[in-house]
Amino acid sequence: MRIVLLPGDGIGAEVVAAAARVLRELPLELELEERLFGGAAIRESGNPLPPETLAACRGADAVLLGAVGLPELDRDEVRPEHGLIRLRGELDVYANLRPARGHGVDLLVVRELVGGLYYGERGTRADGTVFDTMEYRPAQVERIARRAFEIARGRRGQVTSVDKANILATSRLWRGVVERVAPGYPDVELAHMLVDNCGLQLVLAPGQFDVLLTENTFGDILSDVAAGLTGGLGLAGSASLGDGRPGIFEPVHGSAPDIAGRGIANPAAMLRSAALMLRHGLDEPAEAERLEAAVDAALLSAPTPDLGGNATTVEYVDAVVSALGA
């Protein structure tokens, strides 16, 4: 199985190195191949997603991605984040799964990933007005809704579809399509919730949620909130899936310039993303479970500073490797 590693920027490179080391410990035939992406690729070639990188990703069984973003490129026209948005679109990984578990919470954000506000037309008018636009085609909503219902069947059978249907036309389309899809899944219970209330409910009573089905931007924001409820960004992994291979597997967090280069990033989010890769991307559920158990054990024995401990990234990975061998 061929896996393309995209370390990217900041702590992205640190956590991808951790994942590569752990993956090599597993009894699987994995071919790991590293490619330039993000700010690192801009420096090399002026392009955050060079054609060789995209071609390698297309030919892979899975893509494991760290994070992108460099503060010194923040004002530039070409930005590392554009590479990420393009890669997701090119591979058409429309379903972003972001689990959050712990502290009485066990929910899954199913976020539409290749449409909506992040992919709409944007521009600047002569008078200086700048605009972003949000568009959804019915088919785009339908495929993500079906994914959410299918996944809910294997969980507690509850889908909460999040929108802003009291204001936005795209949200009214969203709600209508979800309503149309729902009868095909009579074993799943559907509720609708406005996104602002959903933010409140996540903070006040997150235990009520099973699957949260959301538009791209809403899901980006709400999944960070969900991560905050369950131990922070250092723990939150994600899977981005299309209809076939490869999926993209990446932590929810970014390049964390505030701690980059200090060797203290928590690689658990990246390792949980690697476990999601084993389960959803490579069809190796037993190894996924083994890795998840080792990640959990190491969180107790060698917590990093974001969790109140003092283990370094390498010490935490040592603990994961030893838990895998135990």
| Reduced 3-state DSSP string for 214-278 | ECHHHHHHHHHHHHHHCCCHHHCEEEEECCCCCEEEEECCCCCCCCCCCCCCCCHHHHHHHHHHH
| 118 in active site | yes
Closer to ligand NAI by CB, 60 or 248: give it. 248
Q: How far apart are CA 261 and CA 228, in angstroms?
A: 23
Phi-psi region at 46: left, alpha or beta (left = phi > 0; alpha = psi -120 to 50): left
Closer to ligand NAI by CB, 95 or 259: give it. 259
The least distance separating Mg ion from the CB of residue 323, rounded to whole angstroms, comes to 29
Q: Per the residue annotation, which of 9, 210, 220, 306 is the catalytic one?
A: 220
State the pairing for strand pair 95-102/189-194: unpaired
Assess whether the previous peptide bond of 246 is cis (omega < 30° from 0): yes
The region of 218-226, 268-276, 305-313, 314-322 touching Mg ion under the rule CB under 5 A is 218-226
| 196 in active site | yes
The least distance separating ligand NAI from the CB of residue 70, rounded to whole angstroms, comes to 7
Residue nearest to Mg ion (CB): 220
Q: Is 190 in the site for ligand NAI (CB under 6 A)?
A: no
Options 9, 81, 163, 220; binder of Mg ion; rule CB under 5 A: 220
Options 168, 233, 314, 321; binder of ligand NAI; rule CB under 6 A: 233
| 163 in active site | no
Q: Please say whether the beta carbons of 77 and 115 come within 8 A.
A: no
Options 7, 50, 69, 206; binder of ligand NAI; rule CB under 6 A: 69
Closer to ligand NAI by CB, 163 or 306: give it. 306
Q: Please say whether the beta carbons of 274 and 283 come within 8 A.
A: no
* Binding partner selected for residue 72 from ligand NAI, Mg ion, none, CB under the kind-specific 5 to 8 Å limit: none
For the sheet with 158-163, list strands across it.
31-34, 2-8, 62-67, 247-251, 237-241, 95-102, 105-112, 211-214, 158-163, 189-194
Angle at 185 between CA 184 and CA 186, to 5 degrees: 105
The region of 38-46, 86-94, 212-220, 268-276 touching Mg ion under the rule CB under 5 A is 212-220
| 220 in active site | yes
Options 143, 253, 272, 280; binder of ligand NAI; rule CB under 6 A: 253
Pick out residues in 134-173 that bind ligand NAI (CB under 6 A): none
User: For ligand NAI, what does the binding mask look like between residues 303 and 322, x meaning CB under 6 A?
Assistant: ---x----------------
User: For ligand NAI, what does the binding mask look like between residues 16 and 55, x meaning CB under 6 A?
Assistant: ----------------------------------------
| 164 in active site | yes
State the pairing for strand pair 122-124/130-132: antiparallel
Q: Per the residue annotation, which of 118, 119, 185, 316 is the catalytic one?
A: 118
Tokens of 14: 């640190």
The set of residues, in sequence order, having a beta carbon less than 8 Å from that of 142 and lying 6+ positions away, is 177, 180, 181
Phi-psi region at 311: left, alpha or beta (left = phi > 0; alpha = psi -120 to 50): beta
Which residues here bind ligand NAI, judged by CB under 6 A? 11, 67-69, 81, 84, 233-234, 250, 253-259, 265-266, 269, 306
Q: Supply the residues annotated as catalytic.
A: 118, 164, 196, 220, 224
